[in-house]
A and B are shown apart, each in its own frame.
Chain A
Amino acid sequence: MSRRALLLAILVALPLFAAVPRDAAAPILLPVAKDQTVSFRLWFKVGSQNDPAGKEGLAALTAAMLTEAATQKRRYDEILDQLFPLASTYGASSSVEMTVISGRTHVDNLADFYPLLRDALLTPAFNQADLDRLRSRTLNFIENQLRFASDEELGKAVLANEIFAGTRYGHLGAGTVTALKSITVDEVKAFYTAHYTRDNVVIGLGGGYSPALLDQLRADLAKLPAGAPAPVPAPSPPALSGLSVTLVEKPTASTAISIGFPLGVVRGAREWYALAIANSWLGEHRNSSGRLYQVIREQRGLNYGDYTYIEAYPNGGARMTPPQNVARRSQLFELWIRPVPHEARHFALRAALREVDHLVKHGMTAEQFEERRQFLKKYVLHYAATTGERLGYAIDDAFYGLSEPHLVQFRRLMDELTLAEVNAALKKHWQLGNLKIVAVTQGAAAFADALVADAASPITYASPKPAAVVAADQEISTFPLRIRRAAVKIVPVAELFAQ
């Protein structure tokens, strides 16, 4: 058996990706015989899109009130005491359309762990003191951490809000300051009762669990009330007209830039995988081989990295591979320029957009296409290393209704897609005419003036650069953006996410 054949045989032999059940409500199971741990992922079909108007943040706060608060049997500090010797925790991840309650424990500790997880789901206490604590933490996150401690994450959050403005996606999952302050215990209870129902949950279970545990879990979740909330229509993000710019004014040492537009294709579509090849070439996340990274960081040393995405990728600064369980029906293209010196902000923006423009106009070359599909075919093996991550992917497969698991399909299509398909998908879905640009910066008014004037933005370096770079700089520094004055707004940081 060749080494390659052996690798594939191993992949087939191990339950690397769970089979997708036909019944959308059927459990998603990933048994791993020798695994000494059990992984739970309980998927509730609720997220920030379900936040009532004026109560933004309610979905995330409700999830936290289940997993980081008291139950009717135990105070929260008692729960922590019981979890402590088990080295196990459970937690909630709430995104736009999904909330997943996850937990992991060693099989030795399952009998002690499971009742705690069960009680958190079935009999939460919903105490005022817990709500006050978790609300205070969320307000600190918005008012201090997000607004001040990471300009990159701030820029990305503003971009997502702007692209989906006016839709159920168009607010921060954590909420707004005004809405958070208004949320009551009764509203949390009502939200829980409406959305945490037995008809709105899918069991995900993986690792070394027994059939009896699955039976127990099913029986326990059946105790949740019946009924499912009315479906939320998929959002229709407003059409962008030309390049519109939001400049967030704040005292900061450098400028963080995010660029994007709505993308009408999601995983499972053949075109999505075609775009994934082009996206990987242009800006594979945290990878030095991407074109933008090469142009902005490697050749010019302007920042720490530059990446692109065809799916929402929350918390990208803190992770190396894609997140699971942030699936959604409407996606966005996103380009992330890590902080650059203020004097290089205009240049870096132009350099990035010029690369996108070139790619869309000319497409990938045969050589680039060949390199990328080979890269991705193996690289995606690293996306789901643990049982919990594989379970997460299987849940996302169910969300997207995939009959063939996403990562299996991903690898298969790397052999099947053609260069012509990639370039056709690029022309169909990517464009440079209608974009949203967000920059977190200091001296926003001067930047706005320069953008509107399409003023030349020559760049100087502290050290010499090769002749080819210098020549390209001439073109970059005058690359036309054609931004209208009316399409530029300046927002003080303190006003963000206020209401």
Chain B
Amino acid sequence: MRPLFLTLAAVLVTAATTSAAPPPRVFPYPYEKHTLPNGLTAIFVPMQSPGVVAYYSVVRTGSRDEVEEGKSGFAHFFEHMMFRGTPKYPQAAYEGIVTKIGANTNAYTTDDHTAYHLKIAAEDLPKVIEIEADRFQNLAFSKIVFQTEAGAVYGEYRKSISSPFALLNERLQDLAYDAHTYKHTTIGFERDIMVMAGQFDYSLSFFKRFYRPENVVLVVAGDVEPKTTLAHIEHHYGSWARGYVAPAITPEPPQQAERTAEVTYPGKTLPILTVAYKGDAFDPANRDYVAALLLGELAFGETSELRKRLLLREQRVQMLAASIPQNRDQPLFSIYAMIKKPEDIAAIRDEIYKTIEQFKETPVDATRLRDLKRRNKYSFLMGLDTPDAVAAGLARFISLTGDIAVIDRLYAAADAVTAEDLMRAAKKYFVPERRNVIVLKGGQS
């Protein structure tokens, strides 16, 4: 599970990987993609690695799919249940195998997807394919085990919520959305987590609906030989029956007016101002969206004029950053500022608005735009240095589109962004009727 604010850093990195780069290919490794008759897709990325393989199972289900009332956080909870064994390999047997092979294994859940990942020695790949195929098809756990795990998930919530950013994001999503499931964070509302132990029957239906081959993509990166690996995958996953049922996710109606809220953090913190605009879903063909990905960095990133002034020269903020996420549905384009003096909150907010207005009216400096495109290209290349980094980096694109071919399209689109595109995107997204403003203050400050 990636708690949401931690994802701000991750999102910024992800956003930084979305632009620039010439055709024909941005993704630097050759890869193979195969789809089995049952719809399961496997992507192989052979790359130099010292006998190590990363094995990712990406399920295109996340907290976005929690459409039923009272079930927020369930995708994440279910991720925990996936380690509870099968008739053939009960929990202890599964753990015995991954321990014996020294696998580094874990899983995480996001708003749009859930990923199960193992870093292993290449020689253990056939065994890992067997046990992963088994648990994705034959998971079986008792009610007692299910109920006990609910306590551990509540413990995860409690350890995370001591961060002011966790509290802030929880309230921000609740404020900004009315109908769409992005109203709750990935870990879910506390009120729903507290009663998860009673949802055993629901968990069985969750598995049947979402853990199906058409909804899963395998990524195998590193010291992998595609032909034999595909044969192993066909053997172990081939009989997995189709049956994915797409959830009926209610679209968010257009926001009509600005929303504001204040949050009190029980501990001590500098005030945090968040200005969040309803954006657009991920779509490389949407020039406005692609321009917005660049705009966040240009207007509020590390070398933006506003950050230089407020953080370096005037030292009025402790932190200033923007997050332009890549999501299957409409996310929030957010600007975060941690402000040193509470009496300065309104002035900093106005500085953010003023900056946005400037970006609507004034073309961005050509050198800045060129530098950003160059930065994004190198950031992407330098980030792909281990099998795990490659597979993890691809997981988000797979969750968005089911494929990784989109990477090249996205980079080509970002490379084509012009100063005019940026002004148009600023005018489209960063307007008061799309805006949600939250101020978090410490109760003990």
A residues with a Cβ closer than 8 A to B are 3-4, 6-7, 10-11, 14, 16, 34, 36-37, 76-77, 80-81, 84-88, 104-106, 108-109, 129, 132-133, 136-137, 140, 143-145, 147-152, 250-254, 256, 286, 288-289, 297-304, 320-321, 338-341, 371, 374-382, 385-387, 461-466
Query: Which residues in B have their C-beta under 8 angstroms from that of A254?
Result: 155, 158-159
CB of B378 within 8 A of chain A? yes
What separation, in Å, do the CA atoms of A37 and B155 have in the docked complex? 41
Q: Residue of A at shortest CB range from B297?
A: A84
Instruction: Let me know if A301 and B148 touch, CB within 8 A.
Output: yes
Instruction: Let me know if B100 and A151 touch, CB within 8 A.
Output: no
Instruction: Let me know if B375 and A304 touch, CB within 8 A.
Output: no
CB of B402 within 8 A of chain A? no
CB of B251 within 8 A of chain A? no
Instruction: Let me know if B371 and A463 touch, CB within 8 A.
Output: no
CB of B38 within 8 A of chain A? no
Instruction: Let me know if B106 and A150 touch, CB within 8 A.
Output: no
Instruction: Let me know if B99 and A371 touch, CB within 8 A.
Output: yes
What separation, in Å, do the CA atoms of A133 and B377 have in the docked complex? 31
- Report B72 CB to chain A, min CB distance, Å: 19
Query: Which residues in B have their C-beta under 8 angstroms from that of A149?
Result: 162-164, 267, 269
From the candidates B16, B101, B152, B381, name the one contacting A303 in the complex (CB within 8 A): B152
- Report A347 CB to chain B, min CB distance, Å: 13
- Report B348 CB to chain A, min CB distance, Å: 16
Chain B positions 255-278 with a Cβ under 8 Å from a chain A Cβ: 265-270
Q: Residue of B at shortest CB range from A145?
A: B269
Query: Which residues in B have their C-beta under 8 angstroms from that of A37?
Result: 382, 385
Question: What 1/0 mask marks residues of chain B from 142 to 182 whose CB sits below 8 Å from any chain A CB?
Answer: 00100111111001101101111000000000000000000
What separation, in Å, do the CA atoms of A109 and B121 have in the docked complex? 33
Instruction: Let me know if A464 and B371 touch, CB within 8 A.
Output: no
What separation, in Å, do the CA atoms of A377 and B124 have in the docked complex? 14
Instruction: Let me know if A106 and B386 touch, CB within 8 A.
Output: no
Chain B contact residues: over half helix, strand or loop, or mixed? helix
Instruction: Let me know if A339 and B158 touch, CB within 8 A.
Output: yes
Instruction: Let me know if A464 and B151 touch, CB within 8 A.
Output: no
Instruction: Let me know if B388 and A385 touch, CB within 8 A.
Output: yes
Q: With A253-B162, A371-B100 given, is the CB distance from A140 to B122 under 8 Å?
A: no
Q: With A37-B385, A136-B340 given, is the CB distance from A252 to B162 under 8 Å?
A: yes
- Report B172 CB to chain A, min CB distance, Å: 17
From the candidates A3, A379, A462, name the one contacting B147 in the complex (CB within 8 A): A462
- Report B439 CB to chain A, min CB distance, Å: 16
Most buried by A among B99, B104, B197: B99
- Report B443 CB to chain A, min CB distance, Å: 8
Instruction: Let me know if B151 and A302 touch, CB within 8 A.
Output: yes
Instruction: Let me know if A288 and B312 touch, CB within 8 A.
Output: no
Query: Which residues in A have their C-beta under 8 angstroms from that of B22?
Result: none
Instruction: Let me know if B442 and A106 touch, CB within 8 A.
Output: no
Query: Which residues in B have their C-beta under 8 angstroms from that of A133?
Result: 311-312, 315
Instruction: Let me know if A7 and B122 touch, CB within 8 A.
Output: yes
- Report A15 CB to chain B, min CB distance, Å: 10
The 5 A-B residue pairs with the shortest CB-CB distance in the complex, in nearest-first order: A378-B102, A301-B151, A463-B147, A148-B267, A87-B378
Query: Which residues in A have their C-beta under 8 angstroms from that of B100?
Result: 371, 374-375
Instruction: Let me know if B155 and A339 touch, CB within 8 A.
Output: yes
Q: Residue of B at shortest CB range from A147?
A: B268
- Report B42 CB to chain A, min CB distance, Å: 21
Instruction: Let me know if A463 and B162 touch, CB within 8 A.
Output: no
- Report B103 CB to chain A, min CB distance, Å: 8
Query: Which residues in A have their C-beta under 8 angstroms from that of B376?
Result: 87
Instruction: Let me know if B152 and A465 touch, CB within 8 A.
Output: no
CB of B119 within 8 A of chain A? yes
Query: Which residues in B have their C-beta under 8 angstroms from that of A338?
Result: 155, 159
Question: What 1/0 mask marks residues of chain B from 71 to 115 whose CB sits below 8 Å from any chain A CB?
Answer: 000000000000100000000000110111111101000000000
From the candidates A6, A81, A377, A463, name the one contacting B150 in the complex (CB within 8 A): A463
Instruction: Let me know if A301 and B149 touch, CB within 8 A.
Output: yes
- Pairs A–B under 8 Å by Cβ, sample size 17: A11-B51, A85-B370, A140-B318, A148-B162, A253-B162, A254-B155, A298-B148, A303-B159, A304-B152, A304-B156, A321-B104, A371-B99, A374-B102, A381-B50, A381-B52, A382-B119, A464-B144
- Report B131 CB to chain A, min CB distance, Å: 15
Instruction: Let me know if B144 and A465 touch, CB within 8 A.
Output: yes
Instruction: Let me know if A299 and B148 touch, CB within 8 A.
Output: yes
What separation, in Å, do the CA atoms of A77 and B304 have in the docked complex? 10
Q: Residue of B at shortest CB range from A133?
A: B315
What separation, in Å, do the CA atoms of A37 and B318 have in the docked complex? 32
CB of B303 within 8 A of chain A? yes
Number of A-B contacts (CB under 8 A): 205
CB of B357 within 8 A of chain A? no
CB of B123 within 8 A of chain A? yes
Q: Residue of A at shortest CB range from B195?
A: A462
- Report B365 CB to chain A, min CB distance, Å: 11
Q: Residue of B at shortest CB range from A379?
A: B102
What separation, in Å, do the CA atoms of A106 and B380 have in the docked complex? 11
From the candidates B51, B150, B162, B442, name the one contacting A151 in the complex (CB within 8 A): B162
Question: What 1/0 mask marks residues of chain B from 38 to 53 whose CB sits below 8 Å from any chain A CB?
Answer: 0000000000101110
Instruction: Let me know if A462 and B162 touch, CB within 8 A.
Output: no
Instruction: Let me know if A302 and B51 touch, CB within 8 A.
Output: no
| Other A-B pairs, 14, CB within 8 Å; known A88-B378, A320-B104, A338-B159 | A84-B372, A109-B378, A136-B340, A144-B268, A148-B162, A148-B269, A148-B444, A149-B267, A298-B148, A298-B152, A304-B155, A304-B156, A374-B102, A385-B52
Query: Which residues in B have their C-beta under 8 angstroms from that of A464?
Result: 144, 147
Instruction: Let me know if A461 and B151 touch, CB within 8 A.
Output: yes
What separation, in Å, do the CA atoms of A6 and B265 have in the docked complex? 55
- Report A483 CB to chain B, min CB distance, Å: 25
Query: Which residues in A have their C-beta under 8 angstroms from that of B147?
Result: 301, 462-464
Q: Residue of B at shortest CB range from A339?
A: B159
What separation, in Å, do the CA atoms of A386 and B181 have in the docked complex? 38
Q: Residue of B at shortest CB range from A385?
A: B386
Most buried by B among A4, A88, A143, A144: A144
Q: With A7-B121, A11-B50 given, is the CB distance from A371 to B162 under 8 Å?
A: no
Query: Which residues in A have their C-beta under 8 angstroms from that of B152?
Result: 297-298, 301-304
- Report B45 CB to chain A, min CB distance, Å: 15
What separation, in Å, do the CA atoms of A76 and B309 have in the docked complex? 12
CB of B302 within 8 A of chain A? yes
Query: Which residues in A have their C-beta under 8 angstroms from that of B159?
Result: 151-152, 254, 256, 303-304, 338-339
Query: Which residues in A have their C-beta under 8 angstroms from that of B155?
Result: 254, 297, 301-304, 338-340
Query: Which residues in A have their C-beta under 8 angstroms from that of B122?
Result: 3, 7
- Report B54 CB to chain A, min CB distance, Å: 10
Question: What 1/0 mask marks residues of chain B from 306 to 325 whose CB sits below 8 Å from any chain A CB?
Answer: 00100111010010000000
Q: With A254-B159, A378-B101, A385-B52 given, is the CB distance from A106 to B268 under 8 Å?
A: no
Question: What 1/0 mask marks residues of chain B from 120 to 152 whose CB sits below 8 Å from any chain A CB?
Answer: 111110000000000000000000100111111
Q: Residue of B at shortest CB range from A380?
A: B102
Question: What 1/0 mask marks residues of chain B from 264 to 299 whose CB sits below 8 Å from any chain A CB?
Answer: 011111100000000000000000000000000000
Most buried by B among A87, A251, A320, A462: A87
- Report A93 CB to chain B, min CB distance, Å: 17
Instruction: Let me know if A288 and B95 touch, CB within 8 A.
Output: yes
- Report B65 CB to chain A, min CB distance, Å: 23
Instruction: Let me know if B163 and A301 touch, CB within 8 A.
Output: no
What separation, in Å, do the CA atoms of A93 and B123 have in the docked complex? 36
- Report A384 CB to chain B, min CB distance, Å: 9
What separation, in Å, do the CA atoms of A148 and B379 have in the docked complex? 33
CB of B374 within 8 A of chain A? yes
Q: With A338-B159, A464-B147 given, is the CB distance from A16 to B340 under 8 Å?
A: no
Q: Residue of B at shortest CB range from A154?
A: B162
Q: Residue of A at shortest CB range from B379?
A: A87
What separation, in Å, do the CA atoms of A251 and B267 have in the docked complex? 7
Q: With A152-B159, A381-B51 given, is the CB distance from A77 to B378 under 8 Å?
A: no
